[in-house]
Structure 1
């Protein structure tokens, strides 16, 4: 199973972002980008990749502990940025230290469960909204996102998500994401 730990924005945040993305899609050359689907919007905390079925129960147990040890925190969608000339994202504001801690705990949970993880990188909260097929200038989109401020919400859960990669070969088909586990953060509920 291809898995990752994530924070999922609530429907109100998704709706606000959908409105913002609709405006971005009216900018020049927006049709050259591959825009991600609303149903797949998430903040990845830790990407686990292919996880052997026998490791999943231990991973679930350790993620539950990580969630329990992390307090709920406020978050909102905030501005945007880019990774090079290929990925356009929306950022976050609010409880970023708590989110970073939850990401580190999710990464550690996977390692302790026996999941082979890539080299650890400093966490940067981002939600990918588009990818460029070819290197292009994403600065106009980042500039358009400069004033974007979403409504705050309380992050109350850690989600384990399965990524089902496209298999049809249809151009533009996107991965399907399926929540296969969710645990309340300490103090949530």
Structure 2
């Protein structure tokens, strides 16, 4: 099964962001993007890819330790947005420096847990917490032909209410099965741990 470690925003925070995203969907060209569903919005800490049952058991133990060693719930606030080139539009976070560092350490701990369980994480730049809102349709980079800058600019002033990420989740990414164009994967938590001792 395809697994990743994540933190999930609460329904109130998702609702605030969903209202802001509804306005983005009215912008010209929005129909050319694949918009993610609010119930799937999350912050990926580490992506593990395909994991067999034996490795999953080891990973589960290690992630439980990582969650226990965390300083406790991490204050977060959905705010602003940006884009990765012409491929993906995302919402960001506004946090105090100490809270950003706590989230970065949690991400590093989940990556280390995966590495120790024998799961080499994909190469990627430093941790950049983001919540993916939309992706370009079609194959290849920027296949939709939509410039994501106006969407990121429109999302710039958004600032949601504060909340705390109080648990670490191990999530199963269930791929689409219907072959219906635009169908997206489902995300099912398989394990969860409170953050902190």
Please state how far the C-alpha of 1:120 moved relative to its aligned partner: 5.0
Match of 1:78 in 2: 79
Q: Deviations over 1:138-169 (max 9, x none)?
A: 11101101100010001110000000001110
1:43 and 1:181 map into 2 onto residues whose CA distance is: 16
2:140 matched to which residue of 1? none
Q: Helix, strand or coil for the counterpart of 1:78?
A: strand
Give SS of 1:141's match: helix
The answer to whether structure 1 residue 163 and structure 2 residue 173 are counterparts is: yes
1:34, distance to aligned residue in structure 2 (A): 0.5
How far apart in 2 are the matches of 1:169 and 1:16? 31
Instruction: Report deviation, 1:116.
Output: 2.8
CA contact (8 A) 2:33 2:146 kept: no
Q: Out of 104, 108, 111, which is 2:108 matched to?
A: 104
1:152 matched to 2:153:
no
Matched, 1:114 2:121: no
Structure 1 spans left out of the alignment, 5+ residues: none
Q: Give the 5 Å matches for 1:27-42.
A: 27-42=27-42
1:115 CA drift (Å):
1.5
- Give the Cα–Cα distance (whole angstroms) in 2 for the partners of residues 169 and 46 of structure 1: 27
Contact 1:87 1:128 (C-alpha < 8 Å) held by counterparts: yes
Decide whether the 8 Å contact of 1:48 with 1:110 is kept in 2.
Answer: yes
Partner residue, 1:2: 2
* Structure 1 vs Structure 2 CA RMSD: 1.0
For residues 79-136 of structure 1, the C-alpha deviation after alignment (integer angstroms, 9 at most, x for no partner) is 0000001100000121221111111000000111111322253100000000112243
Cα shift at 1:180: 0.2
**CA separation in 2, counterparts of 1:173 and 1:63?**
30
Task: Give the structure-2-normalised TM-score.
Answer: 0.92
Give the 4+ runs in structure 1 shifted more than 3 A: none
Residue 15 (structure 2) aligns with = 15
